[in-house]
Each structure stands twice: as C-alpha cells, then as structure tokens.
Amino acid sequence: MVGKQKYQAGDQTLLRQINLSAILNHIRIETPISRAVLAERTGLNKATISNLVNELIDKKFVKELGVKNSGIGRPSSLLVLNPEAGFILSSEIGVDFISVIGTDFSPKILFEVTRKIEPNLDPAIVIEMLISILKKAQNKCTKSVGNNFLGLALGVPGLVDFESGCLLFAPNLQWKDIPLKRILSSEFDAPIFVDNEANLATLGEYFFGNALLYDDVLYLSVGVGLGGGMLREGQLLRGVGGMAGEFGHMTADPNGEICGCGNRGCWETQASQKVLFKYVHEALAKGETSILQESCGHNLDLLNTDLIIDAAKRNDRVALESLKKVGRHLGIGISSLINALNPGIIVLGGILSSAWEILEPEINQELTNRALYWNRESTKVVLGKNGLKSCVMGGIATVYQMILSEPHNNSHIFDNK
C-alpha cells in the first residue's frame, strides 16, 4: 500500500510539472494570452488553469499584463512571461569573434557585444576575454532586473561533451580538451551549459525563430565550416556518444579535399565559407575578372563573405557563380538528409545564409532533381530568423528549455527573492 501511495504522490507531482510546463510554453508562444485561451490550448479546465497560473505568478515566472476587454463577457487579464524573473547570459566563441548577449526572462536583450578577435589566439586568452565580457553583461543585467542569474550558455564550433561541458575538439579553432564548463563554473554562480554552436542555434530557431511551430527540426549552419543540429519531438538528438549532428563531416566525395577533421571529401569541403573563397580564388587564377579584386584592395587575403555576397548582388559573375556552386552542393547534401530524415523543417543559418536569395533557387533545383517527391513535399527548407545571433539566441533557448520543461524543480532559483 505504501508503495502505491508513493507512486500516486509522484504521479500527481509529475502531472503538475507537465501542466505547468505546458502553460509556460503556451504563454511563451502566444504571448500575451488570457486564461480562457490557455484553457482552450491545453485542454485543462479553467479552475486548474487558474490554480497553476497562480503558482507561476507566485514563483515570478509569469505576470499579468492588464485587462483586455473583448466586448463580450467579463474583461480578461492577459499573461506574459515576467521579465523580472531574472536574467540569462549567452555567448559564442567563433573562429574570429566572441559574442555575448544578456536578456531578461521575456527575453528582451539588455546587453549585446560582438568582439572581433585574431584567429588562432591561445585558448586561455580567448576565454579570459570571454569572461571579462560576460562579467560586464552580468553587471548590466543585474542593474536592470536584479541578481537572479537564471543560467549561462556558451556555444563553440566543435564537439562538446554536453554533460561535462568539455570541448573535445574544434577543428576550425584547433582547440582540444578544454573544460569550458568547469572554467566558467569557477567564475559564475548559475546553471551553465556548454554546447556545439549548431545545437544551440537549432534550439534558438525552435524557441525564437522560424521553427517555432515544428517539433522535428533540422538546422544547418553554413559558415567557416558546416555544422548541424536536429530536434526530434522538441528534444535535441545527441546520439549515444553525444556527438550527433555532424552533418558537415559526412563524406560527399571520397577523392575530395582534406577537411579540418582530417578526413577527405567531407560535405563541409564542398559547402562552406572556406570553399566559397577557394572558388573565387580559382576563378581569378584562371584569368576571370571581378569587382572583388578592387573591393579587397587587390589583396585576396582580405576577401570575406560579405564582400562576395555584395558583389554577387551586383551581378559579378565570379561571386555569383561561386555562391551558386556552394548552393548546389548544399542542395545535394540536403536532398540526402531529406530522404534519410524527412524532418518537418530544415532551417539554414550561418554567415552564408545571408546569400539566401542566391542559394535558395540552387538548393531547390537540387531538391527537385534528387530528393524523393514525398519526402520533399513534406519538408520545408527555410532561412533562419535569428541570423548572426542564432547561436547566442540558442543559448537563451537552452536555459529556457531547462526552466520551462521543469518549472516546479527550477522554482528554487526564486527562493532567494
């Protein structure tokens, strides 16, 4: 009998947790929202909604915005996530930059800095710079919403052991075995998450971007390299070793170029910023002319993606053809992913996604040529919404996911208020 009672008690707690989570998520997605609409969306009765919403207001997760008079029946008060619940910091280390944002719980951005850094700096120097910017962000956010530090996230372009928060290997940084979570834990007193930048960006598009209404999402980040992340029923697919999503390192050409990972002919060697630059160099070496020669002061070491996209938009043949070639290789790989995984939506991010208008027709042409009709028809391919903030917004989303999935367990973070 004791066992049964224990089971029933646990069951009730679990049910309450699930319902609180459902309510918080609906408030997040459809903000501001009334209790009546919440009841409709969740299928819970009005008394239960009222009871659970009161708990969320008590815990400072939710606040009432005011009264909405629809003209029919009693005026209803609208609910939003409470910005003053606390603040979240999120950061990204890229090959040549550090980005940090700080938001309140709504999540309105309170602090935002991107600092260019020299590539190939010593990891200790980069981490020190990151910590210094994060401290500034913490100060700014504390002044705005008080000292409830809800969580800190860091995205890096490499393989991460999510549990320990150790960066195992970042091919484009050439960093190995850096215990990032442990280092940050000695500086900041909050839940800390270190993850692959594309995993974070995937969550970012799911929580705050163009994948908002999809639970099966594949995200591709086309930048210096080609990273990816996948959500299955709203949860990141990590694989048994925690390393899933390395789509860029699928072999696309067994005789292709050597990749940063050491293998030959990875998809990344055909569809990334690196190969875009290579195509431009090759065309110019063949004697083609381009406005890029002038726009980078006849020093091709100064070539960057923005210059190429700008030139392509001005119909520069070298820039346009180079981007189109990358687009075709992206389309070929995406066709295989659609055939294999058939997600609800594929979202394209990373710096090359700024060339979406040029890439999209090439991708679509390859999908028409190569993807199975039924798979293609049921999978949308779209541009990401978060742009260059995709990873840092994903960090905010990671902290959100922790709180929103278990609001009851995470209410301790408000106990010191």
* Choices 6-14, 255-263, 320-328, 400-408; region in contact with Zn ion by CB under 5 A: 255-263
Give the dihedral of Cα atoms 212, 248, 164, 395; nearest 10 deg: -30
Strand partners, 91: 100, 154
Query: What is the nearest approach in angstroms of Zn ion to the Cβ of residue 229?
Result: 17
Burial of 143 (0-12, 13-18, 19+ CB in 10 A): exposed
Q: Which is nearer to Zn ion, 180 or 261 (CB)?
A: 261
Q: Which is nearer to Zn ion, 205 or 246 (CB)?
A: 246
157 belongs to the binding site for Zn ion (CB under 5 A): no
Q: Which is nearer to Zn ion, 169 or 188 (CB)?
A: 169
Q: Which is nearer to Zn ion, 249 or 389 (CB)?
A: 249
249 belongs to the binding site for Zn ion (CB under 5 A): yes
Report the relative pairing of strands 149-156 and 109-116 from DSSP bridges.
unpaired
Query: What is the nearest approach in angstroms of Zn ion to the Cβ of residue 30?
Result: 41
Report the relative pairing of strands 76-81 and 33-34 from DSSP bridges.
antiparallel
The correct pick among 49, 261, 355, 402 for binding Zn ion (CB under 5 A) is: 261
* Choices 18-26, 263-271, 307-315, 390-398; region in contact with Zn ion by CB under 5 A: 263-271
* Choices 1-9, 226-234, 258-266, 377-385; region in contact with Zn ion by CB under 5 A: 258-266
d(CA 268, CA 264) in angstroms, rounded, equals 10
| Residue 192 neighbours by CB under 8 Å, 6+ apart | 151, 152, 153, 154, 165, 181, 184, 185
Query: What is the nearest approach in angstroms of Zn ion to the Cβ of residue 270?
Result: 11
> What are φ and ψ of residue 166, in 5° steps?
-95, 130
Q: Which is nearer to Zn ion, 109 or 250 (CB)?
A: 250
* Choices 23-31, 266-274, 345-353, 395-403; region in contact with Zn ion by CB under 5 A: 266-274
381 belongs to the binding site for Zn ion (CB under 5 A): no
- Please, what's the b/e burial string for 209-235 (b: 16 or more CB within 10 A of its CB; e: otherwise)? bbbeebebbbbbbbbbbbbbbbbeeee
Query: What is the nearest approach in angstroms of Zn ion to the Cβ of residue 231?
Result: 23
312 belongs to the binding site for Zn ion (CB under 5 A): no
The letter for the amino acid at 44 is: L
Q: Which is nearer to Zn ion, 73 or 254 (CB)?
A: 254
266 belongs to the binding site for Zn ion (CB under 5 A): yes
Query: What is the nearest approach in angstroms of Zn ion to the Cβ of residue 334?
Result: 17
Q: Which is nearer to Zn ion, 259 or 283 (CB)?
A: 259
Query: What is the nearest approach in angstroms of Zn ion to the Cβ of residue 348?
Result: 19
Query: Tokens 């995470």 label which residue?
Result: 410
Distances (CA, A) of 381 to 32, 48, 101, 111: 29, 39, 28, 32
Query: What is the nearest approach in angstroms of Zn ion to the Cβ of residue 171?
Result: 7
Query: What is the nearest approach in angstroms of Zn ion to the Cβ of residue 268?
Result: 5
Q: Which is nearer to Zn ion, 125 or 258 (CB)?
A: 258
Query: What is the nearest approach in angstroms of Zn ion to the Cβ of residue 150?
Result: 36
* Choices 136-144, 260-268, 320-328, 389-397; region in contact with Zn ion by CB under 5 A: 260-268
201 belongs to the binding site for Zn ion (CB under 5 A): no
- Total chain residues near Zn ion (CB under 5 A): 5
The correct pick among 201, 259, 332, 371 for binding Zn ion (CB under 5 A) is: 259
d(CA 41, CA 35) in angstroms, rounded, equals 10
Burial of 246 (0-12, 13-18, 19+ CB in 10 A): buried
Query: What is the nearest approach in angstroms of Zn ion to the Cβ of residue 158?
Result: 12
* Choices 141-149, 162-170, 261-269, 333-341; region in contact with Zn ion by CB under 5 A: 261-269
* Choices 105-113, 254-262, 316-324, 353-361; region in contact with Zn ion by CB under 5 A: 254-262
**Among candidate residues 182, 196, 212, 154, the one with its CA nearest the CA of residue 28:** 212
Query: What is the nearest approach in angstroms of Zn ion to the Cβ of residue 164?
Result: 24
Question: For residue 374, what are its two tokens?
Answer: 């039924």
The letter for the amino acid at 280 is: V
Q: Which residues bind Zn ion (CB under 5 A)?
A: 249, 259, 261, 263, 266
